[in-house]
């Protein structure tokens, strides 16, 4: 069989067929790495590529003449950063602010800010194709800030859209009395 030309031809044909990539192989699924957190008894997430760090809420200084969703500013290692309350931004049920809350620092589009979270659950991976459009039962969240919702009702927010929203920039001046 070593010198049999038919056998070699058959083996060569099989080798070529096996060496070709399968046409039925599924494309590699895109996976999103997200930071999961709690807000008003619901589960939310942000892509980790926008998350700079998570820190405890300390020494929040309120700012006058700002929209209701701006809680104030914090000094984080010499940097003054605004802190936003997503509950007020999305018209979700409010609770009091305590030192148990966490600030999720996000950055992008030449903007850096903190988002108040009731609790941070941790980092996890979710398949991008598992995200579905908003559910009609979700209240408060405006669809323009929503990347999608998983089957487990994890609401994935669009951090890039939040950071680029002109509503978060305050351009008002206060007149001196």
pLDDT at position 138: 59
Using pLDDT thresholds of 50, 70 and 90, give the confidence band for residue 125.
very high
**pLDDT for res 110:** 85
pLDDT in tens, 35-90: 999 988 889 999 999 999 999 998 899 988 888 899 999 999 999 999 999 988 88
pLDDT surpasses 90 at 124: yes
Q: Whole-number mean pLDDT of the chain?
A: 84
Q: How far apart are CA 70 and CA 97, in angstroms?
A: 13
| Closest listed residue to residue 168, CA positions, set 113, 87, 117 | 113
Query: Where in the chain are the domains?
Result: 31-168
pTM given for the model: 0.75
Instruction: Kindly state which CATH superfamily the domain 31-168 is placed in.
Output: CheA-289, Domain 4 (2.40.50.180)
CB 9 within 8 A of CB 106: no
- The confidence score (pLDDT) of residue 176 equals 59
DSSP state of 118: S
Residue 174: the pLDDT is 55
pLDDT value of residue 84: 94
């Amino acid at each position: 069989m070593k010198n049999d030309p038919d056998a070699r031809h058959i083996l060569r044909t099989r080798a070529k067929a096996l060496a070709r990539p399968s046409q039925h192989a599924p494309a590699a699924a895109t996976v999103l790495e997200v930071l999961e957190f709690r807000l008003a008894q619901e589960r939310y997430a942000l892509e980790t590529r926008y998350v700079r760090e998570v820190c405890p809420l300390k020494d929040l200084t309120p700012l006058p003449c700002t929209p209701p969703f701006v809680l104030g500013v914090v000094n984080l290692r010499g940097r003054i950063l605004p802190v936003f309350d997503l509950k007020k931004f999305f018209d979700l049920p409010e609770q009091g602010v305590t030192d148990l809350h966490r600030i999720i620092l996000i950055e992008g589009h030449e903007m850096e800010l903190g988002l108040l979270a009731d609790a941070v659950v941790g980092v996890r991976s979710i398949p991008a194709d598992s995200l579905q459009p908003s559910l009609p039962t979700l209240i408060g969240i405006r669809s323009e800030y929503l990347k999608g919702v998983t089957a487990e009702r994890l609401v994935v927010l669009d951090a890039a859209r939040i950071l680029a929203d002109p509503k978060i920039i305050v351009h008002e001046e206060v007149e001196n009395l």
